[in-house]
Amino acid sequence: MADTQMTPGVIAGRLPPDAYAENFADLHPPLDRHEAAVAADRCYFCHDAPCITACPTDIDIPLFIRQISTGTPESAAMTIFDMNILGGMCARVCPTETLCEEACVREAAEGKPVEIGRLQRYATDTLMDRPHPYTRAKPTGRTVAVIGAGPAGLACAHRLAMLGHGVTVFEARPKSGGLNEYGIASYKTPDGFAQKEVEWLLSISGITIRHNKQVGRDISLATLRKDHDAVFIGIGLGATNALDIEGSDLPGVEDAVDFIARLRQSDDPATLPIGRDVVVIGGGMTAVDAAVQSRLLGAQTVTMVYRREAERMNASLFERELAQTNGVRIITGAVPVRVTGQNRVEAVEFAYAVQDGGALRPGPDRFTLPADQVLRAIGQSMVPITNDPADAIEQDGASLHTGPGGRTTPHGYVFAGGDCTATGENLTVTAVAQGRDAAMEIHATLMGDG
């Protein structure tokens, strides 16, 4: 008898074979031309538009929407890419409901914002089917090392290449893209879009990527500084916060980011083992991505448990509702106290949290959730690439410290951006903005204006 959602244990193929393609299809299918025209018509072309202010990359949203509505999505795409070279990915993964679309005046007027994200995708999809639109400036003879081929590094590298600098990117993983490739739910960026976007971006030329090169292990920051005119650090957050409770080392307990990465790197989700009862601990985007995908892989029950109230979750209301619509149960105000099981995880015991001064601690009310798989999504932190005092990088256990333009202090030629820095909200779009701005700062510095 074939396995089903009810089958105990962590197994693959719980669902009928044809269910997977449907489950992992595009969350927001692309608008067709007519739909785009209708959606674009709703934009009021606001003065000093709130959506622009809300966009970390400052895309001129009313302008690009007007360009769509007048039948020039290619021009619209240039308006987007000029500010955000990863505008294609951001159109798919940005939590627009907490950024541009939340600020849209039609959200105030009718509770229904202009569909900015989907319009951005319409424009960027149109142009990304064409040859790369940017060309390089005359070579400057300067070279820059970029550490990390995630959104920050790629945005920085592209802008530097465009300005005529030679760029070498050092990436620890075998593929470029960072979280776009490894860390975001499949249904947000299906059909290999992350890799297609990288290829499209690199076709500007002038950028060399060296994969499987981890700075700090395979090559030192000091070497990079010596060999290049400037260095940009965009390494993201490589470590996950530990779940420091009894039984958390039992087999079946793992990091949600690893689970998501495995899913993203798989060609066939039907081959991926998933528990019958999955418990996800955490309240951010990663937790939602892991929980929803657990359900989509066929888990019978998926429960997300977050320690504080729902409003304080990093996952937006849209994300929480997406989870609930997909059958994920969300429990708030509870903390895990113990993972139990004989040889592997069988259950997680939780306590409803009580306030103790400023801190949360487990209270007396307890409950136990059966679990054959537990996914930790309780935050990530930076893995330092150097602890050499000579590098004089200001950092703490969680992130790098940067000044304006991503400048690390006090060094003039080492810059940083993206999730590894203490600024921003750990979003793709924020990382792109910081990578781009750092590139401009590097350019100004190298060309003598800075």
What does the binding site for another protein look like in residue numbers (CB under 8 A)?
A: 37-38, 41-42, 44-50, 105-106, 108-109
CB of 99 to another protein, least distance (A): 17
CB of 66 to another protein, least distance (A): 12
Nearer residue to another protein within complex by CB, 102 or 197:
102
CB of 31 to another protein, least distance (A): 14
Nearer residue to another protein within complex by CB, 108 or 242:
108
User: Which letter does DSSP use for residue 405 in this model?
Assistant: G
Cα–Cα distance measured from residue 64 to residue 85, given in angstroms and rounded to the nearest whole number = 14
CB of 56 to another protein, least distance (A): 19
Which of 401, 420, 421 is closest to 410 using CA atoms?
401
Nearer residue to another protein within complex by CB, 113 or 269:
113
Rounded to 5 degrees, what are φ and ψ at 124? -70, -40
Number of H helices, E strands in the chain: 17, 17
Nearer residue to another protein within complex by CB, 18 or 32:
32
Instruction: Give the type of residue at 250.
Output: L
Nearer residue to another protein within complex by CB, 69 or 314:
69
Instruction: Give the type of residue at 183.
Output: G
Burial of 69 by CB count in 10 Å (0-12 exposed, 13-18 middle, 19+ buried)? buried
CB of 399 to another protein, least distance (A): 32
CB of 110 to another protein, least distance (A): 9
Stretch (H or E) spanning 361 = strand 359-370
Nearer residue to another protein within complex by CB, 77 or 114:
114
Q: How many CB atoms lie within 10 A of CB 137?
A: 13
Which of 152, 231, 205, 148 is closest to 445 using CA atoms?
231
CB of 97 to another protein, least distance (A): 18
Maximum distance among all alpha carbons in the chain? 72
Task: Give 340's strand partners.
Answer: 347
Which of 218, 264, 232, 258 is closest to 148 using CA atoms?
232
Nearer residue to another protein within complex by CB, 109 or 444:
109
Q: What angle do CA 202, 256, 339 make, to 5 degrees?
A: 165
